[in-house]
Amino acid sequence: MSEFQVSLLSIGAVVVVAVYLYGLWQQWRYRRSLGKPFQEPTAQPIADVVAQSQDDADTQHFIADPVPETSPQFDDKTDFIVSMTLKFPQNAEALDGYWQRRFDYGKTIQAIGCSAATGVWERVIPESRTSYSAFKLALQLVDRNGPISDTRLADFRELLGAIGQKLDADMMLPMVDSAIERARELDKFCADVDQMIGINIVPSSERVLFGSEVARAVQLIGMSLQADGTFHQFDADGATLFTLSASDGTPFQHHTLDQMQVDNMTVLLDIPRVKDPVKNFDEMTLLAMEVATTLRATLVDDQRVTLDNTAISRIRSQVEAVEKSMLAGGIAPGSDRALRLFS
């Protein structure tokens, strides 16, 4: 046998060994994601293999890794969460019926999956091609439109129950009655703290302002005009702290600022949606005072009564009370949980 043929045989042997080892490594990763130790396969009678597989299906308890804190879309306090543990990895197509009806419930729904290869939880979308060993699907119970209805929640539960049954998955399927009760209690709490605080800016002597004047005044202090027709003040992370708008709802638009006339504006703080509401109320008040000085205007309440320091202190106390109530209820203002509920 020539030296060249010996080399070819050696290369072939290396390739075969590499492929075999790679297959073992893939099996090890998959079994590791399911929480099972890897064992090299041994020859067994077919009957024994079938019996062993049945035992595994009956006794295996899949313990999923916790959802990372960077994935705030799942929350036992605010969501109805269904868990599915799969006997064989599946991609997002396994949830086809769920994707088709994801807009039917009037509330936010989300899905995450545990990667069969890595054991890491990630958000799942219809186009996901990752193979997953488990899914968690959640329907938000409450938003600013109120709580989920019992019929819609029952429909959601029935849909996921059918999908899980089709996949032969082990499931954790919460009861509707207890979730509805939780939703109603949460909605009542949210209604009690869902407050916006506004300070009106009215030009002196019945003077009408042009939109261009307002824009120059607020842009000097860092506010910017956004697509919703209001000026926004943002924090360092790009979240809105408060807004300034025309009190009658007329939107500010770049191309009409020179023609637009404004006789009343409102600076608005959405308490549940901002971190440190009291601190931001103080900043909003100072900003409103600065704008009023620039535009020769006055700060007034909704009854057009001038806001003096005493009135501003009372409003500040109201903001502080809402903030304390939210913290006591486990929903910090401006948190991911609050942003979802007050949307």
In the chain, the percentage of residues whose pLDDT exceeds 70 is 79
More confident residue, 93 or 13: 93
Domains of the chain are 1-40 (no CATH), 79-190 (3.30.1400), 194-341 (3.30.1400.10)
Residue 204, pLDDT score: 81
Strand 142-143 with 146-147, pairing: antiparallel
Query: What mean pLDDT is predicted for residues 296-314?
Result: 92
The pLDDT confidence band at residue 52, using thresholds 50, 70 and 90, is very low
Query: What mean pLDDT is predicted for residues 26-31?
Result: 45
Query: What mean pLDDT is predicted for residues 130-153?
Result: 96
Helices (H), the chain: 3-33, 46-59, 96-100, 150-166, 176-193, 211-219, 277-294, 309-328, 336-341
Q: Is the pLDDT of residue 14 over 90?
A: no
Query: What mean pLDDT is predicted for residues 74-85?
Result: 92
Distances in Å between the alpha carbon of 93 and those of 80, 87, 131, 273?
22, 16, 10, 35
Q: Is the pLDDT of residue 15 over 50?
A: no
Mean pLDDT computed over every residue of the chain: 83
Residue 11, pLDDT score: 54
Residue 61, pLDDT score: 36
Q: Is the pLDDT of residue 20 over 90?
A: no
Residue 68, pLDDT score: 43
Region of residue 242 (phi > 0: left; psi between -120 and 50: alpha; otherwise: beta): beta
Query: What mean pLDDT is predicted for residues 225-249?
Result: 94
Helix/strand/coil percent split, the chain, to 5: 45, 20, 35
Strand 109-115 with 132-140, pairing: antiparallel
The DSSP letter of residue 191 is H
More confident residue, 314 or 204: 314
Structure confidence by residue, pLDDT tens digits, 94-104: 999 999 998 99
Residue 10, pLDDT score: 57
Which of 26-35, 41-50, 265-274 is predicted least confidently? 41-50
Q: Is the pLDDT of residue 21 over 70?
A: no
Residue 12, pLDDT score: 55
Rounded CA-CA distance 78/141 in Å is 6
Q: Is the pLDDT of residue 326 over 50?
A: yes
Rounded CA-CA distance 184/147 in Å is 6
Rounded CA-CA distance 267/284 in Å is 7
Residue 76, pLDDT score: 86
More confident residue, 205 or 303: 303
Q: Is the pLDDT of residue 199 over 60?
A: yes
Structure confidence by residue, pLDDT tens digits, 206-235: 778 999 999 999 999 999 999 999 999 999
Rounded CA-CA distance 216/221 in Å is 9
Q: Is 266 helix (H, G, I), strand (E, B) or coil?
A: strand
How is residue 206 written in tokens? Answer: 């019945």
Residue 75, pLDDT score: 86
Q: Is 329 helix (H, G, I), strand (E, B) or coil?
A: coil
